[in-house]
Amino acid sequence: MTDRNLTMLVDFYEITMANGFFENGRGDQIAYFDMFFRKVPDNAGYAVMAGVEQVVEYLKELSFTARDIEYLRSKNMFSEDFLHYLENFEFSCDVWAIPEGTPIFPNEPLVTVRGPAIQAQFVETMILLTVNHQSLIATKANRIVTAAQGRPVMEFGSRRAQGYDGAVYGARAAYIGGCAGTACTISDRDFGVAALGTMAHSWIQLFPSELEAFRAYAKVYPDSCTLLIDTYSVLRSGVPNAITVFKELEAQGHKGVGVRIDSGDIAYLSKKARKMLDEAGLDYIKIVASNSLDEYLIRDLIMQGAKVDSFGVGERLVTSRSEPVFGGVYKLAAVEEEGKIIPKIKISENVVKITNPSFKEVWRLFDNETGMAVADVLTLRDEVIDGSRPYTIFDPEQTYKRTTLTNFTAKRLQVQLFDKGKCVYKSPAIEEIKAYCKSQLETIWDEVKRFENPHEYYVDLSHQLWELKNRLLAEHFNN
């Protein structure tokens, strides 16, 4: 999946603007862009950052092929000088991002790009596409994993994903979010996401009887045998036939692994199946449940006492069916003139669309006594939050609400990916990202992570940034 040239996967206006910048002598003006989002999907309290590795791969391979140039020439819209510029294109931007697996919140820069306006604007679409998609699925996966309360969750959604890349990168993101593995084999090959799976109903139907189908499978996989027991009847034939085969495996010196229920009343069927298996001395056999599950159904199954040891979750995970859009945006925050940063702000009658200006840093403040995250703070890039001195958080909308922190640690969230176009970042292994995600989410209070009416996590502006924003607003409305 990494040998394609995706340079031209852009909105067409990226190219028309690039040509316009070039023709107006603004192509080399240094610009700063932020990628951020305004609302967490599903009205949740947090999201999970993902997709950075693919952003890095895209930017490393950014170049225009002869086919690209000929296509653009055929549009009869672009000057030959501009096309020549693209033929000799070399990426030269600085890029920072919040690492994959980090809990993220609205309005904080997830990715910051600084560089020539042509380049910094041109990469908008792919940064948004990549981070939006994988962050969406990683977030949904983590909610489902949370609902499972320690029971493994397997991502089973390839056949229902929105296209090839939706399946492949969705599986990767789901693993970062906490899933135990995926049905998507290519994601195991390319990313090391464990591929899992056993059989479909067609396996059972191809044999003269269910019992013969189970025996045939057990013969091939005697030490990893999980049987699908709902092709005909879970309780009348599925479980009894599975017990027969597992007992035969025991007699041969092997142990079966589990049974899977893919339809029906899973709470009721799993409890009955558990009782039958235990009475047969097969208490080690695990029960897997699948069939259009999500975090709410899994939570309800557990509340109803379902005897399910792990879950397979498909379409509602890999498509984030309940809210399938992660609304990240990419906005200009500043430009440079004669080496000086000139902040820029987007103003809207819709208050939530007013942007935070200038070149910024994202900090996370941790309480030293509990180790828990207290708030995130956006500052101007040259500001430093020093945990050795008290720091006051205030609500910009209600400035009388103030909290002064004394015993805390401040951590910069963004790391540098590119320095003047050169990649300076090595993506961690997928297992490391997954473990990091788990550890970082443990620093977020449960009140923020609950499904209904989560506590709103503070994303504050430093006093300097707040004053700058208000000054720019005042200048606009007074002119």
DSSP state of 195: B
Q: Is the pLDDT of residue 402 over 90?
A: no
Q: Is the pLDDT of residue 3 over 70?
A: no
What is the pTM for the complete model shown?
0.96
Residue 479 confidence class, pLDDT cut points 50, 70, 90? confident
Dump strand ranges (E) for 383-471: 391-395, 398-405, 408-412, 415-419, 422-423, 459-461
Give the Cα separation of 111 and 362 in Å (integer): 10
Please compute the mean of the pLDDT values over residues 340-350 and round it to a whole number. Answer: 95
Q: Each residue of 199-254: pLDDT tens digit?
A: 999 999 999 999 999 999 999 999 999 999 999 999 999 999 999 999 999 999 99
DSSP state of 344: -
Q: Is the pLDDT of residue 130 over 50?
A: yes
| Largest separation between any pair of C-alpha atoms in the chain | 87
Sorted by sequence, the CB contacts under 8 Å of residue 297 that are 6+ apart come out as none
Per-residue DSSP letters for 226-246?
EEE--SS-IIIIIHHHHHHHH
Kindly give the pairing relationship between strand 373-380 and strand 459-461.
Answer: parallel
Give the Cα separation of 142 and 155 in Å (integer): 11
Q: Is the pLDDT of residue 327 over 50?
A: yes
Per-residue DSSP letters for 33-55?
EEEEESS-GGG-S-EE---HHHH
The fourth-level CATH superfamily of domain 12-137+324-478 is nicotinate phosphoribosyltransferase (3.20.140.10)
Residue 470, both tokens:
């208000």
Is residue 351 within 8 A of residue 345, CB to CB? The reply is: no
What percentage of residues in the chain have a pLDDT greater than 90?
93
Dump strand ranges (E) for 175-265: 181-182, 226-228, 258-261
- What's the pLDDT at 1? 45
> How high is the mean pLDDT of the chain?
96
The fold of the 198-291 domain, in CATH, is TIM Barrel (3.20.20)
Please compute the mean of the pLDDT values over residues 11-25 and round it to a whole number. Answer: 97
Q: Is the pLDDT of residue 275 over 70?
A: yes
Query: H or E stretch including 115?
Result: strand 111-116
DSSP 3-state assignment of 27?
Answer: coil
CA–CA distances in Å: residue 253 to residues 218, 245, 256, 267: 12, 13, 10, 32
Nearest to 432 by CA among 187, 145, 148, 192: 192
- What's the pLDDT at 349? 87
Domain ranges of the chain: 12-137+324-478, 198-291
Please compute the mean of the pLDDT values over residues 327-336 and round it to a whole number. Answer: 98
Q: Each residue of 299-314: pLDDT tens digit?
A: 999 999 999 999 999 9
- What's the pLDDT at 399? 52
